Structure 1
Amino acid sequence: MTLSILDLAPIVSGGTAADALRNTLDLAQRAERLGYRRYWVAEHHFAPGVASAAPAVLIALIAAATATIRVGSGAVQLGHQTPLAVVEQFGLIDALHPGRIDLGIGRSGQRRAELAAGPAPAEPAAARTVDGLLIPSPFDFSKLAGHPHLVHYATLLQQPGARTPDFADQIDDVLAFLDGGHEAHAVPGEGADVQVWILGSSGGQSARVAGERGLPFAANYHVSPAGVLEAVGAYREAFKPSGTLEEPYVIVSADAVVAADESAARELAEGYGLWVRSIRTGAGAMPYPTPDEARAHVWTDADRELVKDRIDTRFVGSPEQVAEGLRVLRRVTGADELLVTTITHRHDDRVRSYELLAGAWNRP
């Protein structure tokens, strides 16, 4: 199977964090039986609608509840922790579940600070279609990065006066702690059979570091679809063979909702736009709404523009429609795997979406 799952442990309206976490464990077990290759969890903070605030803890719970599927992070935000702490956490999990743990790392904390402090971006490129894949006009993340709520929250994720080192130096420290090349020893962690991944949304530092260190790379189509081709291209251009990989290895993320037919799938996906709006207005991901709650929102033109790139690049429909759309994504990006994230209000609908997708993906 060349499909994997990214889970945010979504909290739905009327639900609790405990409900969301139990649903995550249930979905991971079902994903294993369906043959999905990996089960990754995100790291989100201060979000009323997301329960995956501590990925290492959640990964340990999922690994204990499953037997064969790889489990990992998509991604640990390295700007909020030291490389030693991260290696110790993942080394501890690997000690009990050896050979199944993926350490996906992102530089989102550092990236937000750069966006907030940097100059205004140039005029965005127009949307275009590349061999059947929509590449939308990019969303301006600098406005979101400078939101007062997010600036304040960033201070709560670090000790007062703490400074985030350069991302490349942090990655080198992670690798040195894992392979025993650091002067200090991470116990547990040193010698752990943990697969290190770099996640990125553009052709910037994350893609280059992943390529230069010969690490596998995860490109983000589901949150930043405009930059996916540049990200993959920069990674491949920078790639150097390593003890980990002889050739580049890419996973690309995508949002998808599958149901028996397109009409039913679109009904299940109705809450998505309002949920994305809550994130992009700086409020944090809201509890995922029901279709009726989403329809009750009065949309403005500004609202629609705010979420347009995310809405237009989802894969929503029947099993055959979504499988075909994902095959286009894989072909155009050259991805070795796809990382699918699905959010619906009812857990049973989310499980069924992944079941239908697996069946359609495995059919010739």
Structure 2
Amino acid sequence: MTELIVVSSPRMRYMKWIGGGIFKTYLPAVSGSISGSMYILSIPYGAGYNYPMFDNTKRGQQFSFASPPSSTILSRVSIYMCRVGNPTGTAYVNLYSDNNGVPGSVIASIGSVDVSTIPTSFSYVTFTPASPPSINAGTKYWIVFEYTPPNSSNDINLWRRSSDVYADHLGARYSGGSWVTSQYDHVMDITLGNIPTPLIVNLDFQYFGVATRRLEAAVTQSSNVTLDSILVNGVNIGTSLAKITDIPQATSYTIQHNYSVPTTAGTWHNWSITSSIQRYLYYNKTSIMLDELNLSEAYIQKVTFLANGTTLIIDDNPDTMLTGNSGASVTFTEKLPFRKLEWVTGSGEVEIVGYE
């Protein structure tokens, strides 16, 4: 129950007792940040019809984006589809180059899906590449969905619009060994740039004294970022982390910041978020007894007041009340024994010499 103990002889000890609800910074702050840009190219759901894969083992959608930026990455593709019957096997989504208005060669794998897991009602199924491929502004590419169903009763259907909703870009199907294009587009969302991921800050808190560990996060973010939650070692503590907040006591911490950014299609969203985590020691004990110090006798050497209007009472005796404002101190040249100390108001530090 003591702090900053220095042993000077086998029986005598010097110590400092801090109490009354005082916070002290502990080691420098640890910071983390994350930023990015995201664009959603959407061919939205609307009037159209279900388009089976049977007899058409590949279906493609042409797309491009305009500068700026001059280049970016393809981060995610969500295709509107459903399952018919009980098809089996794996469907693949690939990024193709453009070859005079039809899909050319495969540039990168975007993902795959076990077709038995695709919903039986139309839904967006999302594919995320393990290594997002780079693409260039002003260049046309193709998203191609590939699957060979066993028959028309066990199939995968995509949703195809019945009008040209994505001007100057084509839809296509692979049939009879060649590509057949159409002005009608397949419903899908293509995400370019950086998909927001949680901001993680890791830090050590190797402390073994009597104080309670506390953390405080100073979070700054761009105006389009909404902070949704902060998790401390997996515990959700809300959208702010202040030093007055109770947290799990541990020797290391992972602080996860969950946030959201706009998902409006057709515009680039630039975002950033930074968090600086300060470690604190919280001395919240307001009183202490001699036996808690494991001493047979103890004497006050100095009292330092850490808040305005602070009052320390010795041995529950009103005649021994000491009062002071922040920064003031009292030093005793004669031994002042005690058996109990209590911060009645405010907080402070007491320097003690004691004997075992």
TM-score range, shorter chain: under 0.3
RCO higher in structure (CA 8 A, sep ≥6): 2
Structure with greater helix percent: 1
Normalising by structure 1, we get a TM-score of 0.19
